Structure 1
Amino acid sequence: KRRYAYVLTRKGIAEKTALTMQFLARKMAEYEAIKAEIEEISGELDDKDVADLRAQLEQ
Structure 2
Amino acid sequence: VMLKIDGSTLQNPSCVGFVGLVWDLDGQFLLGFFVNLGNSNNLHAKIIALINGLRLC
Regarding TM over 0.5, the answer is no
User: Higher strand fraction: Structure 1 or Structure 2?
Assistant: 2
What is the TM-score of this pair, normalised by structure 1?
Answer: 0.31
The TM-score, its normalising length taken from structure 2, stands at: 0.32
Point out the structure with max Rg over C-alpha.
1
